[in-house]
Amino acid sequence: MNRLRRLTLSLISMMLIVQLSFVTPTFAAPPSAPQSAKQIERERLRQIMDPAADIEAFRQELSDYLMEMEAALRLFSEISVVRRQFKQSGLEPVAMLAGARQRLADLKPEELTLLRATYAKFPGWREAPRVVSSFIKPDLRERLESRIAAKNAGDIQPYFVTADNCADGIAADPSNTDISAAEAAVIAAEAIQDAIPPVLNIPAVAATAIVKGIALSLVTLKAIKDDCTGLDATAVENIVNTAKTEIINNATTNTTTITGAVTSAQTAIINNDNSNRTAITVAIAGAQTAINNNTTSTASANTTTITNVLTAVKNEIVTNDNSNKTMIVTNDNANATTINTNLTAAKNMIVANDNTNTTTIVNNDNANKTMIVNNDNANKTAIVANDNANKDLLLRAHIEADLAEADSATPVAWYLTPTANGGHLDLVQTIVTQTLANILAAGGSIGNAQSFLDRANADKAAGNFKAAYANYRKAYKAAAN
């Protein structure tokens, strides 16, 4: 629980820090301080964002921003799990960026002026491509650039699908800090998107969709890395078995060493006793010879005495030697039994403890894996639902942009037919009706828009879909003017 609390606090703190880096104005350095490369870049961007500056310079800057996002995205798209996340979320990020750049090229100067004024409120907007690019670690970047080079040379097919592998997950090395930074980038992108009028926010919508996909991909890559670097049940069992074998082998070696030492000591004692017996026997023989050389009477008396002494000494030595031998053998047997009993008890205790630890580790590993999978599934569901909402908002923005076109402009055919016929005329009717109602509710004037709307509804009911769309377009523009 404490670990989860610390992780949550770290995540919130990091999100706030990165969000502030995107949306909080920076303070200028004192005049006396030397300018860094970052300060020079900020000054250049400040000049471009100045309301008095040439608006075409801003168009070029925003185009460069989208190109940098596309470059970072192409590297990310070489990771199979990232491509799969984009596909499952219904995203075509490269195509979205290309469409946004095309739309940017078509914007009028007055539209660009409004767009620049909105972006000027978020001084950190230009950092987004560098933030996205920073998520790709040097080792992973080298691998991805090699793949792109091989693909361009024709060595592999474009977008060759490979299964998730530990090498990519470990090389990506996503941390909780990276995931927090990605989520904060999503918050910053959404803040910019929400501040821009829907008809002009296509570049912001594309950037928001991309950083959302990358945030989800970082979560998935971290899960792959965690699965690849964690110990599974087999690895734990192998470690335990190896330790158990080493303990048994060490115990066997110690038993052999102790037994050898006891045998050597026993041999040394027996050899020493035999040596003492030989020395005593030699000394007695010498004394006996000296006595025999004495007088016969004395010799006879001494011989009897010495013989009795020799017999007594010999008997005492043999008795003592046998007693020592029996005591040593008995003590050795008792020590061997004690050692074997202690080794068996130690082995059983270690095996039982290892089995308990194995069960605990396996259960904990399974619980952690289940928690990660459940969390990933919940995050995926939330992100997919949010992406669907963004798609609906993007479609509405496109429809309103087409309704704002001149009467002579060719309409998008997809908007001409009702939902039942595969089109969006029903949604067009809803948008125009809501627009008139919203303007009236705000106290505005809609001119003759209501008559055009009534005529359009009548044409739609009669099946005259093209005429209906033309009148919806007139009603929308009459209300908006």
Q: Which amino acid is at 116?
A: R
pLDDT at 20 over 70: no
- What ranges do the domains of the chain cover? 2-26+34-229, 234-362, 413-480
Note the pLDDT of residue 365.
81
pLDDT in tens, 130-177: 888 888 888 888 888 888 888 788 765 554 444 456 776 677 777 888
Q: What is the pLDDT of residues 220-277, one digit of tens each?
A: 778 777 877 765 557 547 755 875 787 578 768 866 874 775 477 467 636 766 776 7
Model-wide pTM > 0.75: no
Ranked by mean pLDDT, which of 72-81, 381-390, 458-467 comes out on top? Answer: 458-467
Q: What is the pLDDT of residue 30?
A: 45
pLDDT digits (tens, 9 = 90+) for 389-401: 788 889 999 999 9
What is the rounded average pLDDT for all residues in the chain? 79
- Chain length of the chain: 481
Instruction: Give 3-48 as a DSSP string.
Output: HHHHHHHHHHHHHHHHHHHHHSPPPPPPTTSPPPHHHHHHHHHHHH
End-to-end alpha carbon distance in the chain: 58
Q: Are 89 and 216 in contact (CB under 8 A)?
A: yes
Buried b (16+ CB within 10 A) or exposed e, 418-432: beeeebbbebbbebb
Rg (CA), the chain: 46
Residue with tokens 């919203």: 438
Q: In angstroms, rounded to a whole number, what is the distance separating the alpha carbons of residues 263 and 284?
A: 32
Amino acid at 352: A
- Cβ atoms of 81 and 217 within 8 Å: the answer is yes
**Rounded to an integer, what distance in angstroms lies between the CA atom of residue 118 and that of residue 316?**
117
Name the token pair of 48: 């471009």
